[in-house]
Structure 1
Amino acid sequence: MAISIYYSAKRKESLTDVERDLIKKLISEYSVQQEIEKFNNTGEGYNWTEFDVYDLKDSSNPDIIFEGSTQLPDNMDNAIWEGVQHWTALLSQIRCTILNAEWYVAVEDHVLKWDEEYLEYDLSPPSAE
Structure 2
Amino acid sequence: MGVSIYYSAYRDSGLTDEERRLVEDIADEETRELLAEIRKRLPAWKERGAVPGDVESPGEICEGLPVFPADDSDDPRELFWGSSKISHGECEMEVMTMQLEHYTQFSLGRLRQAVPGAEWHVHIDGTELTWEEEYGEYALH
Give the TM-score range, shorter chain. Answer: 0.7 to 0.9
Asked if 2 retains the 8 angstrom alpha-carbon contact of 1:48 and 1:72, the reply is yes
Asked if 2 retains the 8 angstrom alpha-carbon contact of 1:11 and 1:65, the reply is yes
Query: Of residues 102, 114, 126 in structure 2, which corresponds to 1:86?
Result: 102
Query: Of residues 125, 128, 131 in structure 2, which corresponds to 1:108?
Result: 125
Question: Could you give the per-residue CA deviations for residues 77-100 of structure 1, whole angstroms, max 9, x where no partner exists?
Answer: 312111111122201110111111
Matches within 5 A, 1:60-99: 60-74=74-88, 75-88=91-104, 89-99=106-116
Residue in structure 1 matched with residue 63 of structure 2 by the alignment: 49
Query: By how many angstroms is 1:21 displaced?
Result: 1.5
Indicate the structure with greater helix content. Answer: 2
Task: Report percent identity of matched pairs.
Answer: 32
Aligned residues: 121
Question: Could you give the per-residue CA deviations for residues 12-64 of structure 1, whole angstroms, max 9, x where no partner exists?
Answer: 1001111111112211211245658x89xx62465111322233222111100
Query: By how many angstroms is 1:119 displaced?
Result: 1.8
AA aligned opposite 1:121: Y
TM-score of the superposition, structure 2-length normalised? 0.74
For the residue of structure 1 that corresponds to 2:123, the secondary structure is strand
Structure 1 residue runs without a partner (length 5+): none
AA aligned opposite 2:25: K
Residue in structure 1 matched with residue 25 of structure 2 by the alignment: 25
- Superposition CA RMSD, Å: 2.4
AA aligned opposite 2:10: K
